[in-house]
Chain A
Amino acid sequence: NAGVTQTPKFQVLKTGQSMTLQCAQDMNHNSMYWYRQDPGMGLRLIYYSASEGTTDKGEVPNGYNVSRLNKREFSLRLESAAPSQTSVYFCASSERGDNQPQHFGDGTRLSIL
């Protein structure tokens, strides 16, 4: 009954360090998403993967890369972390197709000093 699992839950990085945020879902969903949530800004889409083997940029992709490792896993990488990337990162998944609800993990809280 795990749903969407994100690791780690918390992380502190120094400016310039790299990091990969992991996300896995056990609902056999085709589509997966990465969002960031900042105070006053709401949830903003970073990247998404409509199906295994495809990835597309969202609203705020700069400074990030993603990998859809297989149907279950979608990772987000920060190559050179910047303080502006301090945020809460959420991964979500959904069935293929329009109007499907998205299922979210509980987030990774990332601080970059």
Chain B
Amino acid sequence: SQKIEQNSEALNIQEGKTATLTCNYTNYSPAYLQWYRQDPGRGPVFLLLIRENEKEKRKERLKVTFDTTLKQSLFHITASQPADSATYLCALPSNQAGTALIFGKGTTLSVSS
């Protein structure tokens, strides 16, 4: 079955720097991959989706890449701010159905001023 690994549980960076989070999967290449943000005590919030035929997707200060050869997605936050501090989850379709997702355990980003 598909497994997802997010590179580290925690990432600490200084304000203004670029944060890079990694999501690796082990089995089949998914048709798409999604990234979510989760704040303490809240449910995840969808950020970006990237399809297997897309190399890169951008939204404001966020950029996602998808490398099916490396079985990896990178999530970048440029010019990071303390308000970007949160846990970021990657998700991809399970092998059961197209709508069901499996989630990584998340990386908690802390941006200090």
Contacts and interface: CB of A to CB of B under 8 A. Distances in A.
Given A41-B105, A42-B105, A97 B99 contact: yes
A56 B41 CA distance: 27
Contacts of B34: 99, 101-102
B83 interface: no
Contacts, number: 70
B43 A48 contact: no
Given A98-B31, A99-B49, A48 B44 contact: no
Interface of B: 31-32, 34, 41-46, 49, 51, 89, 93-94, 96-106
Given A102-B34, A102-B46, 7 more contacts: A43-B89, A45-B101, A56-B100, A90-B43, A99-B98, A101-B34, A107-B41
Interface of A: 4, 31, 33, 35, 40-45, 48, 50, 56, 58-59, 90, 92, 94, 96-107
